[in-house]
Amino acid sequence: MAEQLFLYGVYAIHVHPLELQGARWDAEYQITHRDKAVQPWITIGGNAGFEAPERAVDAARRQAIADIEHGAGIPKPHAFP
């Protein structure tokens, strides 16, 4: 599965799955604004991972949105929804 791009307000969320041993999956995500990273790549999934790459990507997308909503060191532009 290739890297996926999700838009959220003025931010872009880049997500790609990482295959683990034993048919398990993690995912990495990065949040950008105007093609500049506002958060480094972050891996989610842990030791157990997810059973499908789609679930790993969805979990990473949801975590990235939560990071944006709760700040997480991400500057909010003046016109954020």
pLDDT value, residue 64: 94
Q: Would you list the domain boundaries of the chain? A: 4-33+40-69
With beta carbons less than 8 A apart as the criterion, state whether 11 and 32 touch: yes
pLDDT value, residue 81: 56
Amino acid at 19: E
Considering the entire predicted model, what is its pTM?
A: 0.84
With beta carbons less than 8 A apart as the criterion, state whether 61 and 13 touch: yes
Q: What is the pLDDT along the chain (81 residues), one digit of tens a residue?
A: 789 999 998 889 999 999 998 889 999 999 998 888 988 899 998 888 899 999 999 999 999 999 988 876 666 666 655
Q: From edge to edge, which strands make up the β-sheet containing 25-33?
A: 4-8, 11-19, 25-33, 36-44
Q: Is 8 helix (H, G, I), strand (E, B) or coil?
A: strand
